[in-house]
Structure 1
Amino acid sequence: MKIKLHILLLTAFLIFVNFSCKNHQTTTSTSTDEKQKPNIVVIELDDLGYGDLSCYGATEIETPNIDALAKGGLKFTNGYASSATCTPSRYALLTGIYPWRNKNAKILPGDAPLLIDTHQQTLPKLLSKAGYQTAIVGKWHLGLGSGSVDWNETIKPGPNEVGFDESYIFAATQDRVPTVYIENGNVVDLDKKDPLEVNYKKNFQGEPTALSNPELTSMKWHHGHNNSIVNGIPRIGYMKGGDAAKWSDIDIADTFLEKAQTYVKEHKDEPFFLYYAMNQPHVPRTPHPRFVGKSGMGPRGDVILEADWCVGEFLKTLKKEDLLENTLIIFSSDNGPVLNDGYFDDAVEKLGNHDPKGGLRGGKYSLFEAGTHVPFITYWKGHIKPNVSNAIVCQIDLLASLGNLVGIDDVTTDSENILGSLMGESNKGRDHLILEAKSKTALRSGDWIMIPPYKGSSMNKKVGIETGNSLEYKLFNLDKDIGQQHNLADENPKKLKEMIEIFASLKQ
């Protein structure tokens, strides 16, 4: 009898121990999961077209490192920037708000005040709430300061005041002054005995420009880029002083890469969000000598190869630091392609059979598809299964979607939670999406796109791109006519009416 009692007590003890161990394992696993929130990296190129990558069908250029992201992750065939130009597109990505709601969300000069209100919700602020360290490395172009900027003192407000713990940027674009790096609000390597001055209305007395001293330029301007000359390149806007702080154009890609690599190394033990905003293939195209002539398509092709190499080197760093399996990477472009955007650099002459638009119509500045329909890839090793998705996804939805990923759902913007689509768990993305080009808007709804009537030229002659402007409605079925050649507005009045009603309701 005693033996049976001992066996019974022993059995009960073993069951208790086993149950306790299981509970302990579950608790530990949950705790570990909480600590191991995925790092998030958004890699955004500048003016990269839907057809500029070999993984999106390009045959005249090879982009093996970006292709590896597409092959190992989810490649979207209906990925969008919100806008066909850079400032409004980046505004939407970081705020989750349609840029056409903000009348100031237009292409900004380099001395414009900060476009994002410091009190509004932003992607880095949201991720900070979830315990993320946040940083931007690269192009900003969302304004700095609250009025007249003193470039010789700490510049506030800027990226650090809208949610980024660290920032290493240039103020606007490579073709705009000031041509300096700014780290956490301070111009890098600035000698205050040689103060930096910037003006977008008038030149400084005695300073050469591309108009007054064309012999000082090493790159010929085509339109608009004929003000101050820096490193032989004529720019938009006027700049004086700050010589020690001026960047080397051919080293910009390497500089931003090194800063991005250093950031992930320094923050590998905590969840981080990095917005790696590359400047290629925006003008002026200044590839490092390692890449000059490699594409056979002139500087534009060369800097695309340079950007692909940078992506590869960055991925090597993530792998070396054992971060690749715990990092969600989102790759895209801020808007569609343009060839001649202000300089003579053989982008048109050496294009050959390459189609930056990938069969789409239009390009940068355009309401047609090529203005906003861009490469879009999500990659998370071991979590996102390799596939191709036709879901309609947009950068504006990163705010709500990534918020959902990290457990924060208090998003009250135009951003929609499409996390399932971004992770490849659902092929249903957005139902409707309003797209913008130079303050004019169009509607993508399912397979259809509607462009309302707009006054203005149908062709941007300076850059050779159709604008989408006309005095009639345009309606296209993209499933059957991706090149938007057959306007169905007259043939399908019922669908047109439906699209107009949806458009009106969403614009309220």
Structure 2
Amino acid sequence: MTPRPNIVLIYADDLGWGDLGCFGAEDVPTPHLDALCRRGVKLTQWYANSPVCSPSRASLLTGRYPEHAGVEAILGGSRTTPGLPPQPTLASRLRDRGYRTGIFGKWHLGADPAFAPGRYGFDEVFGFRAGCVDYYSHIFYWGSRAPIHDLWDGEDEVWLNGEYLTTVIGRRAADFITRSAAPRAEGAAPFFCYVPFNAPHYPMHAPAEHMARVAHLPPGRRETAAMIAALDDAIGEILRALEEAGADQDTIVVFSSDNGPSRESRNWLGGEEISYHGGSSGGLRGAKGSVFEGGIRVPGIITWPARLPAGAELTDPGMMMDLLPTLLHASDGCAPDLPDVDGVSVLAALRDPTAPRPERTLHWTYEGQWALRRGRHKLVVDAREGMDPPATTPRALFDLAADPAESHDLGDLPGISDALEHELAALRERHAAPA
């Protein structure tokens, strides 16, 4: 029997589609991610399931749309905040298949201990439970609420004052890989290492050495670029751990982001009440909080040297919810039967990105906004440009192949507009129905 592959799933936070060198950024040093992209499949039409953090993470771990996973809004950070309703997750399903599982980084699916990640299939846990923390004190600040320290090793609160969290997360994940990969030659269990970094989410903190690497950039972009450079270095440590353990060839490595770049004024440490433009959507319209492409299309990379081609591109639309069935497909050697899951396995497409595949309709909804994509066409309703109202576009239809920036409303197209409107009406009716 072919051994099950190890899986390393790396998730960035508020990283835009245009924030990596391999996705067109010319001002941010990301050598480790660029090299990873060259070794695997670049996902050029890859989407988060939501334009904000918590719902995206719920979809990633459950393989379900946010409304089916039970998390449709950004969750709070008080120690009584409930989270993801109990259900199977990628971690629990892999653990049932004999995997050793670990999470290192941002949870954001419930800060109450009853909703901690150890309840959802993770054997080893390190990180924080809220949506953002200070990178050096690891304290959660939000508005007028009292600051809350939020760093956990398993169920134990730990203090690492002054240690830069991105670096710590990379180091802890690398250590888990080293410990888990070493016994593989003796027939030990494969491992699943989930690494949801909080970079480059605000607060905008970066070590002096990384700020120096991008000192030529203007304020705003400089801080974001430095945080991404530190993120890339931490990912480099994770990849080195795989190589040094001799596990890189039969390990699936996935990299993506939870939503587009933040334009929130909170990114400015000086308290300016103006939009922040340090992150890049790569020319796509909108940002975090928007169902335009800039809020939901994210960089995606997947490598599996033993099974997937190097230097390939998958141009089919896919979503984070597709990872659960895809990774279980890779683990089992056959497509899993998952009637409760909305995602589909894209393993066959990754193996042969040129093979024809049936189209499907993808959808997004967040705070009254709606978007549907089928093939090259996308319908948006009550869409806004970022986190804050009002909506700027009551209704528009775009051809993403010809107009990825969503600048030209096609109006009505025979056979397309009606079909998408019909699907949207059905979605809205189901969404409004009591659970």
TM-score, normalised with respect to structure 2 = 0.85
How far apart are the structure 1 equivalents of 2:368 and 2:161? 32
| Conserved? CA contact 2:261–2:294, under 8 Å | yes
SS state of the match for residue 472, structure 1?
A: strand
Question: 1:252 — aligned with what?
Answer: 165
Task: Name the CA shift for 1:159/1:355 in 2 (closer, same or farther; >3 Å).
Answer: closer
The equivalent residue for 1:409 is 336
Within the candidate set 52, 74, 83, 1:107 is matched to 74
Q: CA shift at 1:453, angstroms?
A: 3.7
Tell me the secondary structure at the aligned position of residue 309 of structure 1.
helix
Deviation at 1:472, TM superposition (A): 3.1
* 1:54 is aligned to 2:21: yes
Q: Which residue of 2 aligns with 1:68?
A: 35
Structure 2: how far apart are the matches of 1:349 and 1:113? 29
For residues 468 and 310 of structure 1, do their structure 2 counterparts lie closer, same or farther at Cα, with a shift above 3 Å needed? Answer: farther
Partner of 2:302: 378
Match of 1:294 among 193, 209, 213: 213
Aligned counterpart, 1:329: 253
Q: What is the distance in 2 between the residues matched to 1:56 and 1:382?
A: 24
Over 3 Å counting, the alpha-carbon distance change for 1:422 and 1:395 in structure 2 is: farther
**Which residue number in structure 2 is paired with residue 442 of structure 1?**
371
Question: Which residue of 2 is the match for residue 271 of structure 1?
Answer: 190
Amino acid aligned to 2:6: N
The aligned residue for residue 157 of structure 2 is: 187
Q: CA RMSD in A?
A: 2.5
Q: How many angstroms does 1:367 deviate by?
A: 1.2
Task: Say if 1:367 and 1:468, in contact at 8 Å, map to a contact too.
Answer: no
Give the Cα separation in 2 of the matches to 1:375 and 1:185: 33
Q: Say whether residues 1:501 and 2:409 are aligned partners.
A: no
Instruction: Give 1 or 2 for the bigger CA radius of gyration.
Output: 1
What is the Cα deviation at residue 53 of structure 1? 0.6
State the match for 1:451 in structure 2. Answer: 380
**Which among 310, 317, 322 is matched to residue 392 of structure 1?**
317
**1:242 corresponding residue in structure 2:** none
Which of 36, 40, 45 is the matching residue for 1:78? 45
Letter in 2 for 1:105: E
Are the aligned partners of 1:298 and 1:350 in contact in 2 as well (CA < 8 Å)?
no
CA offset at residue 334 of structure 1? Answer: 0.4
Task: Determine whether 1:432 maps to 2:361.
Answer: yes
Contact 2:40 2:304 in 1 (8 A): yes
Deviation (angstroms), 1:103: 6.0
2: distance between equivalents of 1:94 and 1:366?
A: 22
Provide Cα deviations, 1:276-298, integer angstroms capped at 9, x if missing partner.
01111100121122212322332
State whether residues 433 and 443 of structure 1, in contact with CA within 8 Å, keep that contact through their aligned partners in structure 2. Answer: yes
Sort the Cα spacing of 1:350 and 1:360 in 2 relative to 1 into closer, same or farther, 3 A: closer
Residues in 1 aligned to 2:59 and 2:424: alpha-carbon distance in whole angstroms? 18
Q: Helix, strand or coil for the counterpart of 1:156?
A: helix
Q: Structure 1 residues 125-134 or 426-435, which shifts more?
A: 426-435
- Which amino acid counterpart does residue 167 of structure 1 have in structure 2? V
Q: Secondary structure at the match of 1:488?
A: coil
Q: Return the offset for 1:505.
A: 4.3
In structure 2, which of residues 230, 247, 260 is the aligned counterpart of residue 306 of structure 1?
A: 230
- Of 96, 121, 133, 1:174 maps to 133
Give, as a single letter, the amino acid of the residue that structure 1 aligns with 2:320.
Q
SS at match of 2:416: helix
Size of the alignment, in residue pairs? 398
Residue 361 of structure 1: SS of its match in structure 2?
coil
Shift of 1:68: 0.6
For structure 1, which runs of at least 5 residues remain unmatched after alignment? 1-29, 146-154, 189-244
Opposite residue 409 of structure 1, the aligned amino acid is: P
Residues 451 and 468, structure 1, Cα contact 8 Å, conserved in 2: no
Q: 1:73, 1:299 → 2: CA distance?
A: 29
Partner of 2:108: 141
Letter in 1 for 2:342: D
Q: Can you list the C-alpha shifts for 1:182-237, whole angstroms capped at 9, x where unaligned?
A: 1222212xxxxxxxxxxxxxxxxxxxxxxxxxxxxxxxxxxxxxxxxxxxxxxxxx
Q: Does structure 1 retain, via aligned residues, the 8 Å contact 2:72–2:366? A: no
For residue 405 of structure 1, give the secondary structure of its aligned residue in structure 2. helix
Residues 367 and 435 in structure 1, CA contact (< 8 A), matched pair in contact too: yes
Q: Which of the residues 333, 344, 348 maps onto 1:420?
A: 348
Structure 1's 349 and 476: CA in aligned 2 closer, same or farther, altered over 3 A? closer
Instruction: Call closer, same or farther: CA 1:70–1:450 in 2, change over 3 Å.
Output: same
Q: Please name the residue that 2:394 is paired with.
A: 472
* Whole-angstrom distance in 2 between the partners of 1:273 and 1:399: 12
The residue identity in structure 2 corresponding to 1:129 is D
Equivalent pair of 2:260/2:298 in contact (CA under 8 Å): yes
Verify the 8 A CA contact 1:116 1:162 in the aligned structure 2.
no
SS in 2 for 1:314: helix
Q: Which amino acid aligns with 1:278?
A: F
Aligned residue in 2 for 1:40: 7
Partners of 1:468 and 1:391 in 2: how far apart?
31
Please state how far the C-alpha of 1:500 moved relative to its aligned partner.
1.2
| Aligned-partner SS, 1:267 | helix
Q: Secondary structure at the match of 1:358?
A: coil
Q: Find the residue that maps to 2:324 and give its secondary structure.
A: helix
- Secondary structure of residue in 1 paired with 2:213: coil
Tell me the amino acid that sits aligned with residue 254 of structure 1.
T
- Decide whether the 8 Å contact of 2:63 with 2:324 is kept in 1: yes
Aligned to 1:358: 282
Does the 8 Å contact 2:170/2:238 carry over to 1?
A: yes
The 1:45/1:439 distance shift into structure 2, 3 A limit, reads farther
Q: Which residue type is aligned with residue 179 of structure 1?
A: H
Which sections of structure 2, spanning at least 5 residues, go unmatched?
135-139, 142-147, 431-435
- Please say if residues 16 and 281 of structure 2, whose CA atoms lie closer than 8 Å, have aligned partners that are also in contact: yes
Range that drifts further, 474-483 or 105-114? 105-114
Q: CA deviation at 1:179?
A: 3.1
- 1:303 & 1:453 partners in 2: Cα distance? 33
Measure how far apart 1:355 and its partner are: 7.0
**TM-score (normalizing by structure 1):** 0.73
Contact 1:81–1:89, Cα closer than 8 Å, also in 2: yes
The offset of 1:80, in angstroms, is 0.6
Deviations 1:290-312 (A, max 9, x none): 21232233211100111111111
Give me the whole-angstrom Cα distance separating, in 2, the residues matched to 1:114 and 1:271. 31
